Every structure is written in C-alpha cells, then in structure tokens.
Structure 1
Amino acid sequence: MFQKVLIAEDADLASSGVRKALEELEIKNIEFTQYCDEAFIKFKNAIRINEPFDLLISDLSFVGNYNEQRLNSGDELVREVKKEDPNLKTIMFSIEDRPFKVKQLCSDLELDGYVWKSNDALKDLKKAISLIKEENFFISPQLAHVLKSKESFEITSFDIFLLQHLADGLEQREISDELKKKGIKPSSTSSVEKRLKLLKENFNANNPTQLVAITKDFGLI
C-alpha cells in the first residue's frame, strides 16, 4: 500500500472523508492542502528531503484565494508534479462528470484514477487506491462508459475554435476572419459552414444555438 499521500482538497467535509478512507487502508502518512500552490510546495519539499510522496489525490476545482495563485486547478497541479516525477501516481477526485471533460482529463493527464464525487465516492476511492497500486487504472463505474465508447467522430482543436467563437456570438464569416488572423487553415467561410454542419449532424442539433448548448453540456466549451 502507499506510504505517503498528498491530498489537495479545499472542502473540509470532503477532506475528512478522504482521511477516513485512507486510514481504513492503514495509510498513516497523509498531508492535506487547500490550495494547489501549497500542494506543489509540499511536493517539492518532500523531494528535497528525500521523502517523496507516492500518491497525489486532487480535486479539480478550487475556490479562489485572496492571495494570487500560480496553480488554480487540479489539472494544472497534476501537470506540474508530473513534470517533476512522471511516475507519481495520481487520482482526480472531482464532481466533474461531463463525458468529454472526464475523457480529456484521463487522457491528457495520464491519470491513474478518476473518482467521481457521488454517494459512493469514498468506497470508490479505496478501490482506486488498491487498484492503481497494482498498476491498474480505475474510474468510477458511473463514468466507465466515457472511456469504453469508441466515437467515430473525433473532435479537433479546429472544432473547439469554431464552437467557442460560435458561442461568443460570431457569424460564420466572422469566424472565418478570426481563423485567417490566427493563420489557421482551412479558413474559408464555406469550410466553416461545412464543419459546423457536420458538428450539428453529429450532435443532433437543429441550429447553432442548440449546438452550443449541447457541446457546453459535453464540456467541449
């Protein structure tokens, strides 16, 4: 079992539950932080004194602090610690359940586990810790379909650009102009029109407004 665990969680109630779950697994060396910057400092100091953490459990979203923070979210924290220690085990412990967002986090951050803050969160957290110790990936059962589904339609950074500007109220011609300014190709109005049409068909949206609403729900924008 893990010997030294760092928890980044700004909710006291969640923190106490996490501590209880870890103690039930007989993990004694547990350190808590309420902000990502503080967590990163603890992480670096542990390496400096040659007593590194072997597991990081982090929330995704954090309430703002009066002091300006360099790291403001769990995904930023995970990216930073992975630069220092690529082998560090990481679990995201979050209320975020939008399919695209969860899939993106698991893939981009190379997480070892994703635990959804549901009624079974602490039970799932204990399962996750036990599984990832044996080099297995864990995701809460309610979200397992997110990673199992094989989407034939791939969302690209170009699509995100179009959707974001569509959400900002830009017309197709204006989006075309923005693409040209950024040097992104294809940038013609007809290309924008064709891609948005394909996106509407994929998401079963009848109009641009509905497309924006649906893709927001999916966590794309």
Structure 2
Amino acid sequence: MFQKVLVAEDIDVINSGIKIALEEIGIKDIDFVSYCDDAYFKIKSAYLNNAPYHLIISDLSFKNDGTPQELKSGEELIHKTRKEFSDLKIIVFSVEDKPYKIQHLYKNLKIDGYVWKNRNGLKELRNAMHRIYTTNQFYISPELNTTVHPKQALEITDFDVFLIASLSMGSLQEEISKSLRKKGCFPSSISAIEKRLKFLKEHFNASNPTHLVAIAKDFGLV
C-alpha cells in the first residue's frame, strides 16, 4: 500500500475522516495542507529531498480566506503537479459531479481516481487506493460510474471548437454555415449546426449559447 500520502483539503472535519480512513489501511505517514500552493511546495520539497510522496489526495475547491495564492483550485494544483511529476498518483476527492469536469480531469490531467465526496466517500476512498495500488487502473465512485466513465468521454472535435469559437465572436448560425462551406468543411448546414450546438449545451449543462461559450473558456477549449 502507499506509504507516504499528502492530502490537500481545507475542511478540518473532512481531514479527520481521511486520517482515520488511511490509518485503518495501515498508512501512517500522512501530511495535510489547506492551500494548493503549500501542497505544491511540499510535493516539490519532498521530491528534492529524495522522500517523495506516493499519492496525492486533493479536493477541487478551496475557500478563499484572503491569503494570497498562485494556485487557487485543486485543478490548478493537479495541472502544475502533472507537468513536473508525471508518475505521481493523484486521487480527486470532491463533491463535484459534472460529467465533463470529471472526464476532463481523467483525460487531460491524467488523474488516477475520482471519489465522490458523499456519505460513502471515505469507504470509496479506501477502495480507490486499493484499486490504484494493486491494478494501476483508473477508479471512479460507483454512483458516478453509471453515467460517467472514461470510455464514454465526449471527444471534442475541431468542428465543435470552431462552432464555439464562432459563437464567442458573435457569429450567427447562418454566418457559421457560410464559413464552414468556404473552408470545405462538412457538415455545414444550419440544421447540422443547430443539432450539434443543442447536444453540446446538453452535455455541458449550458442554459444558452453564451453560457456554453463561458463553460468552454473555463476548460480552455476556446
């Protein structure tokens, strides 16, 4: 089992639960941090001192208490950590349940597990650690597995990016259709554009085109 674990979580009661859960499976070397910057510095320092962490457990959202931070979210922490420590195992422990968010973390940031922070969360966290350690396979909480699975991740195409980018510049569907035809891209019909935009809005839980553009920008798609 993993011997050295870092937990990035800013709620004390949750940290207490995680500590008990990890100690129950024999892990004693556990560090806790409440800020993402502190987490990154600990990861970096441990590596330079030849005593690296074997696993990082991180929440995604951290309350802003006024302390200046370069890394303001668990996603930013994971992104920076992955650039330098590609082999480090990472489990997200969060209340977030949006399909695309989880798929983005899995596909683009290469997390090793996603545990939904609910009443069964600590049990699932232990299960996730066992799965990742023994099989090296991605783990996701069963409650999310029925609707979200890495193999079912939406593949964002160049067509999708062009549609959203065009919307962000204020283009109407008729103008987008003309642009696609000029590029020799198919499908280019207005009906095809409407159908794909409807699908994208539903997938991203966007209420309107403007909301869709905002979500896409958050994920760096445009």
Shorter-chain TM band: 0.7 to 0.9
Percent identical residues: 40
Query: Cα offset for 1:191?
Result: 5.5
Match of 2:106 in 1: 106
Query: Cα offset for 1:158?
Result: 5.7
Question: 1:59, 1:93 within 8 Å by CA — same for their partners in 2?
Answer: yes
| TM-score, structure 1 as length reference | 0.77
Deviations 1:191-214 (A, max 9, x none): 695564122453697xxx855499
| SS at structure 1 position matched to 2:39 | helix
Question: 2:36, 2:77 within 8 Å by CA — same for their partners in 1?
Answer: yes
| TM-score, structure 2 as length reference | 0.77
Q: Which of 141, 146, 149 pairs up with 1:147?
A: 149
Question: 1:7, 1:58 within 8 Å by CA — same for their partners in 2?
Answer: yes
- Structure 2 unaligned regions, length at least 5: none
Match of 2:119 in 1: 119
- How big is the alpha-carbon RMSD for the aligned residues of Structure 1 and Structure 2? 3.5
Q: Distance in 2 between matches of 1:165 and 1:122?
A: 44
Instruction: Please show how residues 33-182 of structure 1 align to structure 2 within 5 Å.
Output: 33-134=33-134, 135-145=136-146, 146-147=148-149, 150=152, 154-156=155-157, 159=160, 162-163=163-164, 170=170, 172=172
| SS at structure 1 position matched to 2:149 | helix
- Structure 1 unaligned regions, length at least 5: none
Deviations 1:57-114 (A, max 9, x none): 0001111242321111112111222222211110011111011111111111111100
Which one-letter code corresponds to 2:14 in the other structure? A
Check 1:15–1:193 CA distance in 2 against 1; reply closer, same or farther (3 A cut).
farther
Q: Distance in 1 between matches of 2:210 and 2:25?
A: 42
Q: Distance in 1 between matches of 2:19 and 2:77?
A: 20
Question: 2:201, 2:212 within 8 Å by CA — same for their partners in 1?
Answer: no
Match of 2:31 in 1: 31
Check 1:150–1:129 CA distance in 2 against 1; reply closer, same or farther (3 A cut).
closer
Which one-letter code corresponds to 2:5 in the other structure? V
